[in-house]
């Protein structure tokens, strides 16, 4: 399945729907001891994580999700060079990913703004 739109909005809607389904099955809300993190998010059913964060980079929540989930690949689209370097240090040094490929795309010729596309693969 491919999802288009705001990832945070999609995640919130998906979580609400899943919690409702679980509550209907069991009669109670799932506990935080189920798969996923303490917020009840389950990151164990996906192979690829696509992120396109704002110029400030990934939030700590998204970095944690990438590292704790079962993602084999992370596709990172970035317009913030400093934030990209910071996030790659976290994901590669701590998170167990390696840079498999990267590309720099000049979408705005004549400016210093570039988009970076990085493919990370879990070791």
In this predicted structure, what is the pLDDT of residue 116? 95
Catalytic residues: 79
Q: What does pLDDT average to in each consecutive run of 10 residues of the chain (123 residues)?
A: 62 73 69 49 79 92 88 94 96 96 91 92 96
Neighbours of 89 (CB within 10 A): 11
Beta strand 115-122 with 97-105 is: antiparallel
Report the distance separating Cα 68 and Cα 60, nearest Å. 12
Alpha helices in the chain (DSSP H): 7-26, 60-68, 81-89
What is the Cα–Cα distance from 71 to 67, expressed in whole angstroms? Answer: 8
Give SS3 for 106: coil
The predicted pLDDT at position 32 comes to 42
pTM, 2 dp: 0.68
Pairing of strands 48-51, 73-78: parallel
Structure-block tokens of residue 110: 């004549």
92-114 core/surface letters (b: 16 or more CB in 10 A; e: else): eeebebeeeeeeeeeeeeeeeee
């Amino acid at each position: 399945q491919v999802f288009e739109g705001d990832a945070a909005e999609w995640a919130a809607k998906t979580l609400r729907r899943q919690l409702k389904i679980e509550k209907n099955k069991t009669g109670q809300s799932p506990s935080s001891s189920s798969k996923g993190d303490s917020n009840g998010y389950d990151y164990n059913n996906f192979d690829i994580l696509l992120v396109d964060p704002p110029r400030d980079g990934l939030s700590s929540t998204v970095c944690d999700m990438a590292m704790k989930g079962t993602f084999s690949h992370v596709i990172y689209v970035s317009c913030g060079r400093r934030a990209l370097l910071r996030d790659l240090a976290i994901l590669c040094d701590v998170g167990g990913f390696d840079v498999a490929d990267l590309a720099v795309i000049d979408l705005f010729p004549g400016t210093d703004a570039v988009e970076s596309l990085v493919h990370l693969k879990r070791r």
